[in-house]
Structure 1
């Protein structure tokens, strides 16, 4: 027969092993509170900026569409990692994208990518090891995007 102390110890061990409350009643973490939520939002915004630029000047499609697709892939992976459900409607970029002048469009996108790279660098430096590889890949991709937009 098990003593009360043994039962309490077993219950505590089970809770520690499963990583949840004693009976699994612990609420799921809020994906919006995840420190990577701003990086996810940034990836979606960068994808939207590139889409808007292509809509304004279809001659930029070959150059910008692969970059937009990379941002959408990063957003999907960040959403999976954080448990977030991205909105089915693409966000409206806060900084806007000029239209008509390809040079101005590329300059604006290059600056947005540079800022995005800095955000990814910072997130990577602060992330736990299990997230660092993805964040490092995102930072590297954004650095490549900066160069591709020159």
Structure 2
């Protein structure tokens, strides 16, 4: 054990002296506020997938809303810097690349035990998603394309609440 500690200390000393080149430093990638929103959109897709799987009687009504959230997620991914997209994909494997294929089996738990409970829970999820999107839109300083996409997502989510009523 002592030998291992000495070897580690020697390697650290050599690296500190520049004798062992660790390679070029990789600059840190700044966080983008849209990352969290992207993960939230994937969570909504997963919630819709699980709910459709559990309540097939709601499938026809819920599929268009689920697809809209996939489009929202993909649009947000497109706005992220390529390095942020890669970091996000590594951190959350559930988020595929833009236009990525959907998972074959739904993840997560259905929104509710009965179709009525599921619709109520989905409305609440849409309301929360709409509030998060609206806050992100109001805080956005990255340019008009980002504001336009976020505004479109806000409008879509507001209409989803109505569609689930």
| Smaller-chain TM-score bracket | 0.7 to 0.9
TM value normalised by structure 2: 0.66
1:114 and 1:106 map into 2 onto residues whose CA distance is 12
- 2:136 matched to which residue of 1? 123
- 1:6 matched to which residue of 2? none
1:146 and 1:42 map into 2 onto residues whose CA distance is 16
Are the counterparts in 2 of residues 45 and 92 from structure 1 also a CA contact under 8 Å? no
1:141 and 1:28 map into 2 onto residues whose CA distance is 34
Q: CA deviation at 1:97?
A: 1.9
Q: Secondary structure at the match of 2:33?
A: coil
1:122 and 1:134 map into 2 onto residues whose CA distance is 13
- 2:38 matched to which residue of 1? 40
2:35 and 2:162 map into 1 onto residues whose CA distance is 26
Once the two structures are superposed, the pairs formed by residues 88-107 of structure 1 within 5 Å of their partners are: 88=96, 92-93=107-108, 97-99=111-113, 101-107=114-120
- 1:9 matched to which residue of 2? none
Q: CA deviation at 1:59?
A: 1.1
- 2:73 matched to which residue of 1? 75
TM value normalised by structure 1: 0.73
Q: CA deviation at 1:28?
A: 7.2
RMSD: 2.3
Q: CA deviation at 1:120?
A: 0.4
